[in-house]
Structure 1
């Protein structure tokens, strides 16, 4: 896979009052907050593990974390944050080792709460086949089966802003999880929260970068330092 394929960048999307604008950028106040998803987890049973303990990176996931650390080597990172969950801490560790940065743990970037934790969850099998679970699926807009999107977006945005303030004029890395990263991206782009999980642009060990001029969000980009991953895998991890 070519470098262009591994690190493709989404076109910047405008959002009134948040993203874009015609004012010139001030290099002194430019800050980037990189939202990195953790690497592949050892999960042979295909369980939706959510916030459950005991789910660590697979051998492949460890290699993904190393690839991420290499990618960040020249990105001017001065602040490193991770979700308290083991897989996020493991993904952050090579970055910490390579850049000599302390890992700050922030509960606000933890995986989203989900009523299906500990269950297999897929179309045609697992939890969806049990009528007792159908009530949980009644409202995809909130969603009814887990933590409300608005709450995920609020806590993630607060964590992003804290990291931005801690890394003024440089860059911060937040190692988090697929749904929280995708939800805050939908929020800052002004898009609806309800979506098809298979269409999330947030692969394993991927990096969604938010670029700021002062407090003003001026750009969003996306990269896959460890290469593309299967979009049809169990989401939300």
Structure 2
């Protein structure tokens, strides 16, 4: 039996001095703190007990920059997968706050938090993330067989909301939630463990706990 661990990793902090919700916009790379988070993730994933064989990244700049140091250290070429991209959001490119959300033109976007009405449905995010994870799991099982390994690891660098709702679904919790209570910090790792193709556990680790910004970050 092969033990497969897929580590859904949130990207590091982004340089975003204007505090906008950047979503899928281009041109948002890591801040200095974000690069330190990427380096910390190298330390985490090169620990002796891990055997990281495959890397996957969201196509967005901040995700690729987060994964780059680990890819260089392991001499692995990351695969870009559109299925692990950030969620669509109607407020992309704007500064989101209580005042902006209450404007008449925005009321139609916020009437249904269960879907949510302002962006990509939670269930759609779960479906695409699960599909990407299933593809990676099959590749990891093949790599383990070829190398004669009993355990193998893969890393996917993605974004807070897709990672969080995928965890909620795995734990059979409602997908609707308070965004302020997501357990998915910058540079954190949510690990899904499979045995013989069956999910047997989900664990969360705030790898960059000491590097977190003093207040919540907009746009991630």
TM-score normalized with structure 1 length: 0.84
2:159 paired with 1:184: no
The alpha carbon displacement at 1:122 in A equals 2.0
> 1:208 pairs with 190, 196, 206, which one?
190
Instruction: Spell out, residue by residue over 1:93-120, the C-alpha distance to the aligned partner (whole angstroms, 9 max, x if none).
Output: 0110111111100000000000000011
Q: Distance in 1 between matches of 2:181 and 2:214?
A: 7
The answer on 1:101 being equivalent to 2:73 is: no
2:209 counterpart SS class: coil
Partners of 2:187 and 2:90 in 1: CA distance: 25
Superposed displacement of residue 41, structure 1: 0.1
Using the alignment, how far apart are the partners of 1:232 and 1:158 within structure 2? 33
SS class of match (1:161): helix
1:48 is aligned to 21
Equivalence for 2:129: 156
- Give the count of matched residue pairs: 208
| Map 1:188-199 → 2, pairs under 5 A | 188-199=170-181
- Residue 112 (structure 1) aligned with residue 87 (structure 2): yes
Q: Structure 2 vs 1, CA of residues 46 and 88 (structure 1 numbering), >3 Å: closer, same or farther?
A: same
* Partner residue of 1:223 out of 202, 205, 208: 205
Paired with 1:109 and 1:236, the residues of 2 have a C-alpha distance of 16
Instruction: Give the CA deviation at 1:42.
Output: 0.3
Instruction: Determine if contact 1:199/1:231 at 8 Å carries over to the other structure.
Output: no
CA distance in 1, matches of 2:45, 2:25: 29
Q: CA deviation at 1:70?
A: 1.1
How far apart are 1:129 and its partner, in Å? 3.8
Q: Which residue of 2 is the match for residue 121 of structure 1?
A: 96
- Mark the runs of 5 or more structure 2 residues left unpaired by the alignment: 142-150
Which deviations, in whole Å up to 9, do the C-alpha atoms of 1:51-90 show, x marking residues without a partner?
0000000010001001001110022100000000000000
Does structure 2 retain, via aligned residues, the 8 Å contact 1:178–1:235? no
Equivalent-residue separation in structure 2 for 1:88 and 1:186 (angstroms): 22
Cα 1:235/1:115, change in 2 over 3 Å? same
Following the alignment from structure 1 to structure 2, what is the Cα–Cα distance between the partners of residues 232 and 212?
A: 35
Aligned-pair distance for 1:236?
A: 5.8
User: Partner of 2:139 in structure 1?
Assistant: 166
Superposed, which structure 2 residues align to 1:127-142 within 5 Å? 127-142=100-115
8 Å contact 1:179–1:236 — kept in the other structure?
Answer: no
Measured in 2, the distance between the counterparts of 1:184 and 1:153 equals 5
Which protein has the bigger helix share?
2
Verify the 8 A CA contact 1:65 1:94 in the aligned structure 2: yes
Q: Kindly state the Cα deviation for residue 235 of structure 1 after the two structures are TM-superposed.
A: 5.6
RMSD: 1.4
Q: Is the 8 A contact 2:189 2:204 kept in 1?
A: yes
- TM-score, normalised on structure 2? 0.91
Alignment counterpart, residue 32 of structure 2, candidates 59, 68, 87: 59
Give 1:142 deviation, angstroms.
0.6
